[in-house]
Amino acid sequence: MEKYIYVVPIGDILEDLINFLREKLEEIFRLKVKEYTKVPIPKEAYNPKRNQYYSYYFINLLFSLKLNDAIKILGITNVDLYTDNLNFIFGEAILNGKECVISIARLDNKFYGLPPDHTLLKIRALKEAVHELGHTFGLKHCKNPSCVMYFSNSLADTDKKDYNFCPECQLRLYNLF
């Protein structure tokens, strides 16, 4: 059975962004990438006190899809995510697992009251997608600030890094395959 990386829109995500990610992720991971039909945002994830969504439910939702031909499953949502002990997260992954999720909420200039920049949003989303998928393949954080596996604490960190792996992480990934 041929295996794929699945990209799952959770809520409304522009088709143009999904297509961009599909194309780029195929190049970077050299695996086929398939889009799954849009799924609704898990309502139970919403925390009204924080006006944010608990990311665990998103990972769980991806797990519940039971995609047998999936090597990895990347969820993309437009709502703001958080997890335990963190104010917000750009994404979360199961280390060495199958599922990961990214949120584009804080990757969007709109969030900071800045003029929209769709190209920049796509690049930022790609960086976070490669980063979280990297974790599912077993990669940990990298100290090289230009490597995609560098931990982004802020959008400035995301903007500074590349959407590719540094040579060392690339080699690690190759060995993990």
Is residue 132 part of the annotated active site? The answer reads yes
Q: Residue with structure tokens 């802020």?
A: 154
Is residue 139 involved in binding Zn ion (CB under 5 A)? no
Please answer whether residues 147 and 169 qualify as being in contact, where contact means their C-beta atoms are separated by less than 8 angstroms: yes
> Binding-site residue total for Zn ion (CB under 5 A)?
6
Smallest gap from Cβ 91 to Zn ion, in A, equals 7
Residue 123: half-sphere exposure toward Cβ, Cα within 13 Å: 13
Smallest gap from Cβ 143 to Zn ion, in A, equals 8
Q: Which of 8, 13, 67, 166 binds Zn ion (CB under 5 A)?
A: 166
Is residue 149 involved in binding Zn ion (CB under 5 A)? yes
**Quick one: which segment of 35-43, 78-86, 122-130, 168-176 binds Zn ion (CB under 5 A)?**
168-176
**Quick one: which segment of 36-44, 68-76, 81-89, 135-143 binds Zn ion (CB under 5 A)?**
135-143
Is residue 13 involved in binding Zn ion (CB under 5 A)? no
Structure tokens at 85: 């002990």
> Which residues are known catalytic residues?
132
Residues that bind Zn ion (CB under 5 A): 142, 144, 147, 149, 166, 169
